Amino acid sequence: MKKISKVYLGLVLMFLYVPIFVLIVFSFNTTKSRTVMSGFTFEWYAKLFRNEIIMSSLANTILIAVIASVTATILGTAAAIGINNMKKLPKAIVLNITNFPIINPEIVTGVSLMLLFVFFAARMNLEFGFVTLLIAHITFSVPYVILNVMPKFRQMDPFLYEAAQDLGCNSRQAFFKVVLPEIMPGVVSGFLMSFTFSLDDFIISYFTCGSDSQTLPVTIYSMTRRKVSPEINALSTLIFLVVVIALVLKNFVERRSESRSLKTKEESL
Amino acid sequence: MNNSLKRIIALLFPLVIGTSLLAGCSSDSVTDADEESEETEVQTLTVADEEYYSKFRDSGISINVYNWGEYISDGSDEGTLNVNAEFTKLTGIKVNYTNYATNEELYAKLKGGGASYDIIIPSDYMISRMIKEDMIQPLDFGNIPNYKYIGESYKNQAYDPDNAYSVPYTWGTVGIIYDTTLIEEENIDWDILWNEDYADRILMFDNPRDAFAIAEIRLGYSLNSEDFDELENAAELLKEQKKVVQAYVMDEIFDKMGAGEALIAPYYAGDAITLMDEYEDLGFVIPESGTNLFIDAMCIPSGAKQKEAAEMYINFMCEPDIAYATTSYIGYSTPNTAAYEMLDDEIKNDGISYLDEEYLAQNTTVFRNLSDEANQKMQDLWTELKSTHDETKNKWLVPLFMLACVILSITILIMRYIKKKKDIF
Amino acid sequence: MKNKLISAPYLVWMVVFILVPLLMVAYFAFTDKDGNFTLNYVADVAQYSQIFVRSIWLAAIATVICLVISYPLAYILTGMSKNTQSTMLMLVMLPMWMNFLLRTYAWMTMLGNNGIINSIFGFFGLGPYKMLNTEGAVVLGMVYNYLPYMILPLYSVMVKIDKSVIEAASDLGCNTWNTLFRVVLPLSLPGVMSGITMVFVPAISTFIISRMLGGGGNLLIGDLIEMQFLGNAYNVNLGAAISLVLMVIILLIMTIMNQFGSDDETVLM
């Protein structure tokens, strides 16, 4: 039984990884062929870095992800505080509407925002571009922040805030010194979630991007629709590498802090 | 969303550090690359009037150019000019360059509103449609002195009879690209796209106008037919073809023909030349029974923010050096007489790019804009073509599947109810 | 803390960028180009029932395959040591962080007539088989892209199942299969249901996978919507009507699925 399960696990992992490794291997190929390796080269990487369209959309993607996730985190945390204090019915209504962008297919969210922006574009001086992309990214990010922060309030002792006030904190101090540290894990995970979703989003960006700014996924899409050059393989390899390094680092940090806390526990014993 | 998903998503945080590092590297490698190309540079650029281009030098403006994919020299081949970069170098105007794949896509993006472009390059019939719908604006030819290089035969076309809205960029014909090693037929004509011997090895246009044109030639109709019966017959013929078609594509053709995935594909002559340069086994033929002649021209949309800078861009594209770089890189024929003179005789006489006018007049038709009704009809037929499916066996499976879901949920509900009652007692 | 005003910015945002856009989809679906009320577009959607049928069918197959692959995998994972579990989970999730366009592109290069799979077959004197541009390829693309969405909820539910319950079952005379069907399966049902929704919703609305792997000859709902807004057939009203129908279908499926889910999970999908 053990052996079978190991083989099975191996097969699934193979299914998941073989396509990626094929992409990576052929990013070093001297020719554009995808079946025959004819030599080893870094040419496609050099070309990739020289490709202004890719580089500018990468910069765009990061800028939008940073601004959108920070804004969404602030907006969402504030919203969660207010929603937490609402009565049952309004709370349920707001939470359900908040869930729409998560439940709805992305294409519907993208299309609906596009219709809204077209409406504004016709009446006010709004142009599709950086601003519309940013609004769209904030819109689909906020619900994830709220979803992450809300449970933290449920876990928190409701009298903590009042206790802080009784002990002489004004309401601002009470919030920043007592409440915020309590909900911080939720805020951080909400931020990280919206940040990564914003980096990776294609469908909503596709419908809301304009003439002067594209995100990297939109550029990748137009690359796959044209004469395909192994630059795209090089790009995949780099993204994969970044992801692997990020995960390993994260794991490393986690294990270290775990072992450290274990040590301090032992010492205190 | 459950917690573990959230946690794993949270793991990804350091991505930003990595990607910003990448961005940091990029600026270095760009300068390296520039130094390298200095040595191997083959083509250089000289413009007649540098004074003219300096007007916006320090104003820091940018223009949005919306062009077909693979339709400009981007310097990716050794020794070729990167046209947009050269423009920025010369004028100080930044170029935001994006792509579309079909005229209809361009129309949708523009009609939808919101997106603001300064330069677009539609084809003939789309230009007349856009003129009719006020989507593009007349040009100030005082700002485009290089218009003088455009050959007389490309002026006064039906789509823009007064030469007020457009400046021709390239032109060409539609023909059949095929693998010469595996297809031995002589006299290749459009019917080869229906040949069952090559089933699943045939590619087809992924836009209604070009696809219908091929069917219309086969049926002996006009390429500009607005007759509903004729359109329906053409659609019927395309439907028949569907079972031998491997995929409906546009610029994916470079990849699929290049990699030997497909054997036959109808496409534009210019791209065929690019493909044949790279893959010796490919051949190109312009069918005897006639074909479409197209002219793609630069236009300025009505809402353009930087009209004068856009006109400067158009003028720049008509510089002989730039037009030459364009035509040699993308393979399409140039309407620019000065650039034509610079071409090798080999290209002038390749039998594809520059055919004599008499032949063109006899064997080719330029698309005209169809009436709204005919356009709509073609659109509907096209969607229908792409949505019908031969196998009807699945027809009842979905309703059955949904029914099963409903029954399942009801049973579970009942079971829960019973369980609850049991728990109470 | 009692201040509800703090959530006001989000409430405004929510109304303007979540609620209004969805209402605009409905508005466009029920009006014609001049803004007059009409039912024509919604009625026209029936014309595309074949596309709906095919989309639902392919998405359903992909969901079932995902479930069949993931269930044993999640079960095997829960039986491993804590450290191996987190490593394995990380390995399963890692491909998800590559942009889905790149992952789909990877399959495109592998499945072709001259792709790497057929050249391996060719080495043994088989094929070439037609794999790319088929419905099978589309399903494969869906399974590959959305498999982690199935594994995660299954795993997170199964890992919470008390091992002593399973032991108790076998002590009381259940064999392995009986334990699986009568104990583990009912307890993991909420995970199964949220996994199904998380795979089915993106699968039914995809528009890239079918284009890249399906050859563009057989549209799915996503393609149809995209075509109306940014593609060859420009018709915003029809596009809005199709989006509306898609939303209703998904709402229906979600309601069915929520019947199975445990009560406390309804808010969080």
Shared domain for B286 and B220, answered yes or no, is: yes
Beta-carbon separation of A115 and C90 below 8 A: no
Instruction: Check CB contact of C95 with chain B, cutoff 8 Å.
Output: no
- Alpha-carbon distance A146 to A101, whole Å? 12
Shared domain for B157 and B179, answered yes or no, is: no
pLDDT surpassing 50 at residue B135: yes
Given this model, what pLDDT does residue B425 score? 58
Nearest CA in chain A to C90: A247
CATH of domain A50-229: 1.10.3720.10
Instruction: Check CB contact of A236 with chain C, cutoff 8 Å.
Output: yes
Tokens 């004599």 correspond to: B356
Average confidence score pLDDT of chain C: 87
Contact C253, B405 (CB under 8 A): yes
Q: What is the DSSP string of A155-190?
A: HS-TTHHHHHHHTT--HHHIIIIIIHHHHHHHHHHH
Shared domain for B165 and B47, answered yes or no, is: yes
In degrees and rounded to multiples of 5, residue B60 shows phi and psi of 65, 25
Read off the pLDDT of residues B300-324 as tens digits, 9 standing for 90 and up: 999 899 999 999 999 999 999 999 9
Closest CB to C259 among B207, B397, B412: B412
Given this model, what pLDDT does residue B27 score? 38
- Alpha-carbon distance B179 to B283, whole Å? 6
From chain A residues 156-215, the ones with a CB under 8 A of any chain C CB are: 161, 171, 174-175, 179, 196, 200, 202-203, 206-207
Contact C140, C65 (CB under 8 A): no
pLDDT surpassing 80 at residue B38: no
- Alpha-carbon distance B227 to B214, whole Å? 16
Contact A8, C76 (CB under 8 A): yes
- Alpha-carbon distance B8 to A187, whole Å? 15
* pLDDT top residue among C190 and B420: C190
Given this model, what pLDDT does residue A10 score? 93
Average confidence score pLDDT of chain B: 85
Cα dihedral value B178, B183, B188, B189, nearest 10: -70
Q: How many CB atoms lie within 10 A of CB B322?
A: 24
Instruction: Check CB contact of A220 with chain C, cutoff 8 Å.
Output: yes
Instruction: Check CB contact of C72 with chain B, cutoff 8 Å.
Output: no
Given this model, what pLDDT does residue C2 score? 54
Read off the pLDDT of residues B231-285 as tens digits, 9 standing for 90 and up: 999 999 999 999 999 999 999 999 889 888 899 999 999 999 999 998 999 999 9
Candidates C212, C230, C234: best to mutate against B (most CBs of B within 10 A) is: C234
Q: Which two tokens stand for residue C245?
A: 């129908």
- Alpha-carbon distance B264 to B236, whole Å? 21
Identify whether B411 is part of a domain.
no
Instruction: Check CB contact of C106 with chain B, cutoff 8 Å.
Output: no
Given this model, what pLDDT does residue C165 score? 84
CATH code of the domain covering residue B252: 3.40.190.10
List CB contacts of A38: < 8 A, sequence separation 6 or more: A29, A30, A31
Q: Which domain holds residue B255?
A: 172-293+375-387
Identify whether B416 is part of a domain.
no
- Where does CATH 1.10.3720.10 sit in chain A? 50-229
pLDDT surpassing 70 at residue B396: no
Closest CB to A244 among C86, C94, C208: C94
**Residue B267 bridge partners (DSSP):** B175
pLDDT surpassing 70 at residue B1: no
Given this model, what pLDDT does residue B232 score? 96
Closest CB to C90 among A8, A175, A247: A247
List CB contacts of C78: < 8 A, sequence separation 6 or more: C85, C155, C158, C159, C161
List CB contacts of B36: < 8 A, sequence separation 6 or more: none
For chain C, what percentages of helix, strand and coil (3-state, to nearest 5) are there?
A: 75, 0, 20
- Alpha-carbon distance A245 to B173, whole Å? 51
Read off the pLDDT of residues C231-243 as tens digits, 9 standing for 90 and up: 888 889 999 999 9
Q: Which helix (H) or strand (E) holds B96?
A: strand B94-100
Enumerate the H helices of A51-179 as residue ranges. Answer: 52-84, 88-103, 106-123, 130-155, 160-166, 171-173
pLDDT band with cut points at 50, 70 and 90 for residue B391: low
Contact B198, B264 (CB under 8 A): yes
Instruction: Check CB contact of B30 with chain A, cutoff 8 Å.
Output: yes
For B141, how many CA atoms within 13 A lie in the half-sphere containing its CB?
Answer: 11
* pLDDT top residue among B161 and B20: B161
Given this model, what pLDDT does residue B397 score? 56
Read off the pLDDT of residues C69-115 as tens digits, 9 standing for 90 and up: 999 999 899 888 888 888 888 888 888 888 889 999 999 989 988 88
* pLDDT top residue among B332 and B111: B332
pLDDT band with cut points at 50, 70 and 90 for residue B389: low
Tokens 């007539």 correspond to: C113
Given this model, what pLDDT does residue B424 score? 63
β-pairing, B300-301 vs B245-249, is: unpaired
Identify whether B19 is part of a domain.
no
Given this model, what pLDDT does residue B413 score? 72
CA distances from C253 to B402, B417, C60, C143 (A): 9, 21, 11, 19
Q: Which residues of A touch C20 (CB under 8 A)?
A: 116
- Alpha-carbon distance B301 to B133, whole Å? 11
Buried b (16+ CB within 10 A) or exposed e, B69-96: bbbbbbbeeeebbbbbebbbebbbbbbb
pLDDT band with cut points at 50, 70 and 90 for residue B225: very high
Shared domain for B146 and B287, answered yes or no, is: no
Identify whether B210 is part of a domain.
yes
Q: Mean pLDDT across the stretch B6-16? A: 38
For B412, how many CA atoms within 13 A lie in the half-sphere containing its CB?
Answer: 17
pTM of the predicted protein model: 0.87
Shared domain for B379 and B248, answered yes or no, is: yes
In degrees and rounded to multiples of 5, residue A40 shows phi and psi of -110, 130
Q: What is the DSSP string of B311-335?
A: HHHHHHHTSHHHHHHHHHHH-PBP-
Shared domain for B258 and B380, answered yes or no, is: yes
Shared domain for B239 and B315, answered yes or no, is: no
List CB contacts of A137: < 8 A, sequence separation 6 or more: A64, A65, A68, A72, A198, A201, A204, A205
Read off the pLDDT of residues C161-182 as tens digits, 9 standing for 90 and up: 888 888 888 888 888 777 777 7
Given this model, what pLDDT does residue B242 score? 93
Q: Mean pLDDT across the stretch B71-79? A: 84
Given this model, what pLDDT does residue C58 score? 92
- Alpha-carbon distance C241 to C44, whole Å? 9
Buried b (16+ CB within 10 A) or exposed e, B365-385: bbbebbeeebbebbbbbbbeb
Identify whether B398 is part of a domain.
no
Nearest CA in chain C to B250: C216
From chain C residues 163-192, the ones with a CB under 8 A of any chain B CB are: none
List CB contacts of B145: < 8 A, sequence separation 6 or more: B49, B52, B315
Tokens 């101090």 correspond to: A173
Contact B210, C220 (CB under 8 A): no
User: Among C82, C80, C202, C187, which residue's Cα sits nearest to residue C148?
Assistant: C202
Read off the pLDDT of residues A25-37 as tens digits, 9 standing for 90 and up: 999 998 887 777 8
Q: Mean pLDDT across the stretch C130-157? A: 93
Shared domain for B48 and B188, answered yes or no, is: no
Q: Taking each helix axis from N to C terminus, what angle separates A231-268 and B15-40, rounded to the nearest 10 degrees? A: 150
Closest CB to B104 among C132, C157, C234: C234
Which of these ranges, B36-50, B156-170, C177-191, has the smallest mean pLDDT? B36-50
Shared domain for B114 and B62, answered yes or no, is: yes
User: Among C10, B361, B391, which residue's Cα sits nearest to residue A94?
Assistant: C10
Given this model, what pLDDT does residue B377 score? 93
pLDDT band with cut points at 50, 70 and 90 for residue C13: very high
Beta-carbon separation of A249 and B115 below 8 A: no
Smallest CA–CA distance, residue B89 to chain A, in Å, is 14
pLDDT along chain A (269 residues), means of 10: 87 94 91 82 91 89 96 94 89 91 93 93 83 95 94 85 85 85 91 90 92 88 83 90 87 79 68
Q: Mean pLDDT across the stretch C152-162? A: 90
* pLDDT top residue among B129 and B1: B129
List CB contacts of C38: < 8 A, sequence separation 6 or more: C30, C31, C32
Identify whether B1 is part of a domain.
no
Report all structural domains of chain C as residue ranges with CATH numbers, in order of start.
49-265 (1.10.3720.10)
Shared domain for B243 and B382, answered yes or no, is: yes
Coil, strand, or helix at residue B279? coil
Shared domain for B115 and B183, answered yes or no, is: no
- Alpha-carbon distance B15 to B6, whole Å? 16
Beta-carbon separation of B96 and A50 below 8 A: no
| Domain count for chain B | 2
ipTM (interface predicted TM)? 0.89
Given this model, what pLDDT does residue C3 score? 66
Given this model, what pLDDT does residue C169 score? 83
Cα dihedral value A258, A263, A264, A265, nearest 10: 90
pLDDT surpassing 80 at residue C139: yes
* pLDDT top residue among B75 and B284: B284
Identify whether B282 is part of a domain.
yes
Contact A111, A119 (CB under 8 A): no
| A63 CB burial (10 A radius; 0-12, 13-18, 19+) | middle
CA distances from C84 to A241, B2, B313, C12, C19 (A): 22, 21, 60, 46, 44
Which of these ranges, A15-24, B24-33, B141-150, B159-168, has the smallest mean pLDDT? B24-33
Shared domain for B123 and B179, answered yes or no, is: no
Beta-carbon separation of C216 and B206 below 8 A: yes
Residue contacts between B and C (CB atoms, under 8 Å): 122
